[in-house]
Amino acid sequence: MTGRPELLFPLFAELETLAGIGPKTAQHLAGLGVFAPRDLLFTLPHSGIDRQLRDSIVGAHLPATVTVQVSVGRHFPARNKGGAYRIQVQDAQAAFQLVFFHARGDYLTRLLPQGSTRIVSGKVESFDGAAQMVHPDHVVPAEDAAQIPSFEPVYPLTAGVTQKGMFKGTRAAISRVPEMPEWIDPEQKKRADWPDFAAAVSMAHAPKSLDDLSVDAPARARLAYDELLAHQLTLALARARARRKPGRSSAGTGALQRRVLAALSFQPTGAQTRAVDEINRDLAEPLRMNRLLQGDVGAGKTLVAFLALLRAVEAGGQGVMMAPTEILARQHMEGLADMARAAGVRIEILTGRDKSVARRDKLSALADGQVDILLGTHAVFQKDVVFQDLRLAVIDEQHRFGVRQRLELGQKGQAVDVLVMTATPIPRSLSLAQYGDMDVSVLDEKPPGRKPIKTALISLDRLDQVITRLRAAIAEGRQCYWVCPLVEESETVDMTAAQDRFERLRAALGDGVVGLVHGQMPPAEKDGAMQKFQSGALGVLVATTVIEVGVNVPNATIMVIEQAESFGLAQLHQLRGRVGRGAAASTCLLLFKPPLSPGGRRRLEVLRETEDGFVIAETDLAMRGAGDLIGTAQSGLPRFKVADLERQSTLMAIAQSDARALLHQDPGLTSPRGKAARLLLWLMRQEQAISLISVG
């Protein structure tokens, strides 16, 4: 199937082929993302105006849009050029005026001749105690009442495009929708009680009431599902293609994993055990693994990843674990050293800091296969880093590494399996939209023994009290992170804020107690301060957000976040997760600058009420919308015209399982429903998906 099917030609013709759309309007419509008749079908009205005919303007809560039948009385032409031209009218119960500015009298006498009956519809307002309708939206003879829709759809507009133009354009596009075969699973369509595609388009553009504009209205839900299904088919095709690349089976006896589990002082959670089983199954398959391990702060991802790496070692290969920063790589090294000893495997770390001789020795041990597991930063990507047999690559904090780097890592071995970890809980709908080509394991339980973190909201006016309490805590040997506000997108301003806070705390708490880290520092200095804090030499670490990912200091039990309202929810949650890692009870103080905006207050209250990262992420999504949440530019999120990721996450999940099921039954999309699905892909501009369809 090389080109677009003929059935769809009318929907992909030039816009100017539609009645009422000239070259100028066509140009303007591009501002709404409309380039062909097909795009008008998916540009749905976002609200509507009730224009049901009523007896009188009496009883309407003014100002209001009203449609009434009137008898036309006297005309009062404007006294000066461009002034108000008034026409007296009378409905069944009340008299009011129609008002026109810059109007031509001859036009108005033809439109509203004295003594005639007309239906007028427009906004009625009270002006100096008298009711008036300025520039009615509709004026028609009584016999043409049907021309005014009883509920008029309101479309999104852009410069140079009017409601009337949108109404005409969408109607012309709808008339071109052909009869199409059904791509939705018949059971799903019946269960949801959805109309056929052509009927859904007509209904969505002709709402009868506000209910028809809701995301759950059957016509809209069906069109949203069509968009999501096309998107998920594209991801499922990409996933199927990736899985067709020959992988290698890395099966083992599980002996190394058992040794580590026996040496642990705690029982892994059910979620950890489930994730390990899923990964073991993937590794044993002769297909390439591409799995996302998603877990909240402190859910125990590192243990799961290490057990996965042991499976690769057991199969006679090597594993690599990549961290975004040197501090994190070193922390993984410390955290995994005992487990590696228990398993009897050799683990090494490679960072930019390794110099000539030490580096050469590590590299030759790696190439000879003496190193089983390598931990590292981007340094691992360098040309001279050669593995004897790399089987599994684990990537920590996926968003710090691009897809290209994932691929480069995969080239360091033959058919390398990939496990990506993220501590950023992503709402289900977004993770399906963003990582739909991957298999996902979720760690949704906290390991036993993690103490809850007490979170309090405190006004900045009480800063002195906070410092006094801090002094007492430090005297007891406790440690504290103090995160400075995000002033602007400017490192230098952030740095000054951090510097000032550092000076003030040092003056209050004494020399040698307070350290400072910010983005402008040379890496060695930053690491030095972090190390001093980790070793307990410092009581307080003042920082900009450089500490948010993964740093582990079990003795740090206090987290102060200054001007917490300037941070996003996900970031606040990540920062709070830096404490509560040891045996002692921990506290997070959210310092805010009054007065708080309603949104700012709600964000901080959600944080006070729950520690569940997924609940927090869902709230964040509902408050900010999908684009802001991951920053639309780099989010890799598709832009849907009808589907609403925030409110239709279940629909996204259904679309994913339907897409995967369809491709499982019909990989080449050659059955009648498969061919209909190809048509859907063309309709939704998913041309790249067509090229992924397997042949035979």
Q: How far apart are CA 154 and CA 151, in angstroms?
A: 10
In a 3-state reduction of DSSP, which class is residue 298?
coil
pLDDT for the residue 544: 81
pLDDT for the residue 636: 46
CB 681 within 8 A of CB 689: yes
How far out from the chain centre does Cα 503 lie?
39
Largest CA distance in the chain: 103
Residue 420: phi and psi, rounded to 5, are -110, 135
pLDDT for the residue 379: 81
Q: Is the Cα torsion angle 400, 404, 408, 409 positive or negative in sign?
A: positive
- Letter string b/e over residues 597-617, b meaning 16 or more CB atoms within 10 A of that residue's CB: eeebeebbebbeeebebbbbb
pLDDT for the residue 468: 94
E strands, 264-304, are: 290-295
CB 310 within 8 A of CB 285: no
CA distances from 29 to 160, 639, 677 (A): 8, 17, 28
pLDDT for the residue 632: 36
Q: Which domains does the chain have, with CATH numbers?
A: 6-48+157-208 (no CATH), 52-148 (2.40.50.140), 255-443 (3.40.50.300), 453-610 (3.40.50.300)
Virtual torsion, Cα 3, 7, 8, 14, nearest 10 deg:
100
Residue entry with tokens 């709230």: 619
Between CA 316 and CA 326, with CA 320 as vertex, the angle to 5 degrees is 155
pLDDT for the residue 627: 46
pTM: predicted TM-score of the whole model, two decimal places: 0.65
Q: How far apart are CA 570 and CA 426, in angstroms?
A: 9
pLDDT for the residue 15: 93
**List of residues 6+ apart from 72 with CB closer than 8 A:** 87, 88, 89, 112, 113, 114, 115, 116, 117, 118
E strands, 570-609, are: 586-592
CA distances from 176 to 37, 38, 170 (A): 8, 9, 10
Q: Which of 551, 507, 550, 520 is nearest to 533 (CA)?
A: 551
**List of residues 6+ apart from 473 with CB closer than 8 A:** 480, 557, 558
| Residue 99 backbone zone (phi > 0: left; psi -120 to 50: alpha; other: beta) | beta
Average pLDDT per block of 10 residues along the chain, 696 residues long: 84 92 91 92 93 91 93 91 90 94 86 94 91 94 88 90 90 95 95 96 93 93 95 84 76 91 90 95 88 83 95 94 84 90 95 85 94 90 88 76 58 80 73 72 78 91 93 93 71 70 91 86 82 90 70 86 86 84 87 88 89 78 54 50 82 90 92 95 86 61
